[in-house]
Amino acid sequence: RHLGVRLERQPTAEGIRVLEVVPGSRAEKAGIRPGDIIRAVDGKPVRDLETLHNLFQKPASHVVFTVGRDGRIVEVTVVFEE
């Protein structure tokens, strides 16, 4: 599974910062933006890239990302086509 983002390697205290979103990717379609900080996946906190990868790989038709954006918390649903 590919989300279509480039992430900062070193997490912040809040999560992992999105540096770039690939045009036409699942991330772009879901509304993830550069500068977003991925804080949780399906309600489970993300503290590092390994945790994010493991949470993202579970079999499901969609995954809900909780992101920090401009001082707010936003939930973004990424859908996987069959």
Q: What is the mean pLDDT of residues 4-22?
A: 93
Residue 64 CB partners (closer than 8 Å, separation 6+): 41, 42, 43, 75, 76, 77, 78
Q: What is the mean pLDDT of residues 65-80?
A: 93
Q: Is beta strand 5-7 parallel, antiparallel or unpaired with respect to 72-79?
A: unpaired
pLDDT at 82: 53
At residue 32 the predicted structure's pLDDT band, cuts being 50, 70 and 90, is very high
- Which pTM does this prediction carry? 0.89
> pLDDT, tens digit, for every residue of 35-63?
999 999 999 999 899 988 888 777 778 88
